Structure 1
């Protein structure tokens, strides 16, 4: 709209990881709220927030941040949030917002469409003078790993696909569905549905129906692809004729919050005789180890090195996180998006070490190393992002240990609100899925 003046404030983003340091959080919160106040009276705010941030010592950091934003911006300004469905939507968080919407595809190929939708609907309400919509909110006592919520499969395809139809009904502004973030241990971690609109009765009915359908489908969510433990996946990939065969090291996925520093899969690759001997080849990018990477750059291409690889952040958390002794030849040194990457080859396995955490989601991420020339490519990821999905002649999701282990029952959650599926199942009584209208956002 030509009648809108956009005022930039703060954009803070990082690769997902562990809890945010309290000092860093306080600095970003202060900068954001100071900029809001300095911008003067605002009619609306587009609030691009994931929903899965944890801060050391806090149980609902995003509710705290949103409370500070609301206090700074004032009670009359409309706030429209664009979110990730793998974020959390607590009552204290949602009640300070006017509009909430989330991605409807997983993988999140519609991320920019979500942001556009949040901005467009905010402008529409301001331009029309419609004011604040009603917001029907309900949490669902289900917590699933992201790799069981891909919209490439049912039931997620139908559940998330139904939101556009709900939104098109009279009296409805938006319908949102959240899976929640499974790898934080906080009471707010669970699924949620929020429906906004000018007809409170219809908003409540639609939110309740969405929550009920999600609950009833809880046992139908399955992993997005065939799974197995590390050794099973490696053996099947080596035996297959499909090339390149991709394997997801799902427990150490940095884009889900994993450390990205585990050499566990490297050890399993080199334990296979065909890979150890070089009869088969594998590329395993993205093991974060600054010291090992620096040693490779010091040694230079063509040098023989012996390194202790992995566990830079995770050592001490279990046998899977212990360093692995890697002897081999440095075959590549490159800088990728500001990250130094060193490739070391032993037998048929080429391990790519990095001095900082880095995802490998696109062909360009590999730089001079061509994944199409290897029999196997083992990537620290869960479900495959679009370019990897197109690259894979076949694929397996390895259920590996790590900070984002897909088997939630192995992680020892003790602060999530119970009962909660799948932590509680057999004795789970039918939950109350009655939505509530949130009070005016102020």
Structure 2
């Protein structure tokens, strides 16, 4: 089912598809088919700039073949039937697509399916079986994925974001596609050097906005500029999946195995040696300390990150511990502090608000309704100020209790952008306190905040990894085994899948 040989000067056929989600195994949420946004045909191709004629010189004379692309907000484990449906459609479309020279397989790297381990490696193996050994598969991924030897073995190239927050997400996809085209045009089949680094840290400690992650990730461009190296990638791993694969990893791709082995080892050792230097990207405190800090601050808006239930890391979105403290703090009303809490997943509460109508007073118990240890609900008594069918959150209500406006949604969703608030009639710029379920602040929120704090709250993506209760991790692993000996960081070399022309330098 694949093209073969040197395709220099010929029109290439390259497929695009994938399944993209990160899943917390500690979140009492099951990701179903309806949670995914499914794209096919022109809608899929329109996700990418490089598929559009005239956008990129390197992408000319390429027939981009849309397959199926499924993406969901991070959440709990994917329902097995949902995964089987997505895998079947992707592999069937690959078999029906005709000969393909290459494939951009878009993955996250931290998907989980109940009863399965290392599901992306399983998906890549199914894809490889569908396209055959000669099709060049390049996979762009999230740096918060957990990349195993089993996954690398099915691919010809794998790379990852280099920024957290992921401002380079689409650049990463374009880089993977560009390298794929380059290798096909030049007849290159690269080698890869992979090494697992036994460190597992949350993203809020590995943001590239600060050291040491900033310097380590900043060095990747210099590494890939070396002769014989095409790409350098580093994953911090996904901390909220209780799986043996959860750990950091390094993969270097190129044509000189000696250079790849040496540089991969150096990069892995640098990350290992820095393991104790990683700290939270902002000030931290308990939920109560966060609320007190917000009330006492003179810098407005003050943003609180309700980090343990962050839906963009896999949180369920319905943990109400911090909201309970917020509503019980009389200082907020006494000082007339305009406050936004965005938000709480509770479709039942939204229905109650809809039945009552705008302007009505409601007395609700909100949050804590997902099956599992999501904590107790919060009592919310207030005025229904808005009812709207939000494109991301579904039926949504805004209920104001004294000076606190609480957003209630019917679907799990993040609040990352100012427009997420303003389309609900809320103005974060004019608010004293803004609380969002997030980890590190996305760029617009970072620019909004004149002061902020990460509340180390409980939830499915609790920043305190030691209290979550992992059982399946491959040990020893930092920070679970703080006094572990230095590991063997010798890379494993994956030779070229097929013979091809060698080059002496990277792009």
Is TM (by shorter chain) over 0.5?
A: yes
The alpha-carbon deviation at position 311 of structure 1 amounts to: 1.3
Aligned: 1:52 with 2:107: no
Aligned: 1:433 with 2:489: yes
Distance 1:210 1:232 in 2: 38
Aligned: 1:341 with 2:399: no
Q: SS state of the match for residue 137, structure 1?
A: strand
Aligned: 1:385 with 2:442: yes
Task: Determine the structure 2 residue equivalent to 1:25.
Answer: 83
Contact kept? 1:141, 1:420, Cα under 8 Å:
yes
From 338, 363, 369, the equivalent of 1:281 is 338
Task: Determine the structure 1 residue equivalent to 2:23.
Answer: none
The alpha-carbon deviation at position 373 of structure 1 amounts to: 2.2
The alpha-carbon deviation at position 278 of structure 1 amounts to: 6.0
From 345, 351, 364, the equivalent of 2:406 is 351
Pairs within 5 Å for 1:400-415: 400-415=457-472
Q: SS state of the match for residue 312, structure 2?
A: helix
Task: Determine the structure 1 residue equivalent to 2:297.
Answer: 240
Contact kept? 2:190, 2:496, Cα under 8 Å:
no
The alpha-carbon deviation at position 334 of structure 1 amounts to: 2.3
Task: Determine the structure 1 residue equivalent to 2:97.
Answer: 39
Task: Determine the structure 2 residue equivalent to 1:91.
Answer: 149
From 294, 303, 317, the equivalent of 2:360 is 303
Distance 1:395 1:336 in 2: 27
- C-alpha RMSD of matched pairs (Å): 1.2
From 255, 259, 264, the equivalent of 1:202 is 259
The alpha-carbon deviation at position 439 of structure 1 amounts to: 4.7
The alpha-carbon deviation at position 271 of structure 1 amounts to: 2.4
Q: SS state of the match for residue 98, structure 2?
A: coil
Distance 2:231 2:368 in 1: 44
Task: Determine the structure 2 residue equivalent to 1:327.
Answer: 381
Distance 1:279 1:171 in 2: 62
Distance 1:441 1:179 in 2: 27
Contact kept? 1:246, 1:379, Cα under 8 Å:
yes
Contact kept? 1:269, 1:276, Cα under 8 Å:
no
Q: SS state of the match for residue 294, structure 1?
A: helix
Pairs within 5 Å for 1:8-407: 8-130=66-188, 132-277=189-334, 279-314=336-371, 316-317=372-373, 321-338=375-392, 339-366=394-421, 367=423, 368-407=425-464
Distance 2:127 2:383 in 1: 52
The alpha-carbon deviation at position 440 of structure 1 amounts to: 4.6
Distance 2:186 2:443 in 1: 38
Q: 1:241 to 1:92 in 2, by over 3 A?
A: same
The alpha-carbon deviation at position 313 of structure 1 amounts to: 1.4
The answer for unaligned runs of 5 or more in structure 2 is: 1-58, 499-507
Contact kept? 1:143, 1:191, Cα under 8 Å:
yes
Q: 1:420 to 1:326 in 2, by over 3 A?
A: same
Q: SS state of the match for residue 7, structure 1?
A: strand
Contact kept? 1:70, 1:96, Cα under 8 Å:
yes
Q: SS state of the match for residue 351, structure 1?
A: strand
Distance 1:441 1:176 in 2: 20
Distance 2:450 2:386 in 1: 25
The alpha-carbon deviation at position 270 of structure 1 amounts to: 1.6
Q: Which runs of 4+ in 1 moved over 4 A?
A: 439-442
User: TM-score, normalised to structure 2's length?
Assistant: 0.85
Per-residue displacement from partner, 1:301-352 (whole Å, max 9, x unpaired)?
A: 11000111001215x416xx11122111111222322522211111221111
Per-residue displacement from partner, 1:51-88 (whole Å, max 9, x unpaired)?
A: 00000000111111010000001001110010000001
Contact kept? 1:336, 1:365, Cα under 8 Å:
no
Contact kept? 2:190, 2:495, Cα under 8 Å:
no
Q: SS state of the match for residue 223, structure 1?
A: coil
Q: SS state of the match for residue 340, structure 1?
A: strand
Q: SS state of the match for residue 352, structure 2?
A: helix
Distance 2:338 2:458 in 1: 23
Q: 1:278 to 1:294 in 2, by over 3 A?
A: farther
